[in-house]
Amino acid sequence: MKISVITACFNSEHTIAPTLQSVSSQSYQNYEHLIIDGNSSDQTIALIEKCKNPRIIFRSERDDGIYDALNKGIQYSTGDVIGFLHADDVFDSKDTLKKIAEVFLDPQIDAVYGDLVYVRQDNINKIVRYWRAGGYSKLNISRGWMLPHPTFYVRRTLYKEYGGFNKNYRISADYDSILRFLTTGSFNAAYIPEVLVRMRLGGISNRSFSTIFRKSLEDLRIARANEVGGLGTVLLKNLSKIKQFWKHY
């Protein structure tokens, strides 16, 4: 089973090297690493070109934001399964892809997801928040439950069926994408109760209070469009993040 790992980046010279190393050191070797760069002007491109991983597929061109870049990655990918690793994130262990691939040996499984930890920008070993996903149901989703998108791996046939990211959402298109899958009656997602990804704090969705507010407005539109709830769902979704500060290994 071939896994496509997609990384969108733009001026990521300070974080891209650990991301590249994290993928290239995976024990599971039947993968491709698609790096979609938005025409960076710093040293990002030089660092990617310096990487000797033969499984890298690299494209650098102007895009219309991160979700446009991720859609391009889906379009260019050739794997049986598709997932995403952002340019400032790393896999938690060298066996992450192996664990994901093992679950997909069951042909009834459509997707796999797991837990995620937020770490400090300057120290990926310093955990700040622990996002324990747990199992899902439509009732849980209406109560604000959501899985960590960087841990979400889906069979490519389903991206062909349900589409990629809606670029009309500038901050929360990943939330919309997940809901489109999970609210499908026949969709079967398996939960790996382990940390799969380490994410640095400071992503686009939580950079400032104004960004959080705009994200919440998008979340509200998405929840209503996917018929999983409304304002209460979004409020509970935001409140559920508080407990992540008290979760530890």
State pLDDT tens for residues 64-121. Answer: 999 999 999 999 999 999 999 999 999 999 999 999 999 999 999 999 999 999 999 9
What is the pLDDT, as a whole number, of residue 67?
A: 97
Query: Could you tell me if residue 98 is left (phi over 0), alpha (psi between -120 and 50 degrees) or otherwise beta?
Result: alpha
Total-model pTM: 0.94
pLDDT at 28: 98
Instruction: Confirm if 197 and 90 have CB atoms less than 8 A apart.
Output: yes
Report which residue type is found at 74.
I
Angle at the Cα of 132 from the Cα atoms of 244 and 209, rounded to 5 degrees: 40
Residue 205 predicted with pLDDT over 70: no
Q: What is residue 211's predicted lDDT score, i.e. its pLDDT? A: 87
Q: Tell me what the mean pLDDT of segment 195-210 comes to.
A: 78
What's domain 3-246's superfamily in CATH?
A: Spore Coat Polysaccharide Biosynthesis Protein SpsA; Chain A (3.90.550.10)
What is the pLDDT, as a whole number, of residue 138?
Answer: 86
Average of pLDDT values for 4-28? 97
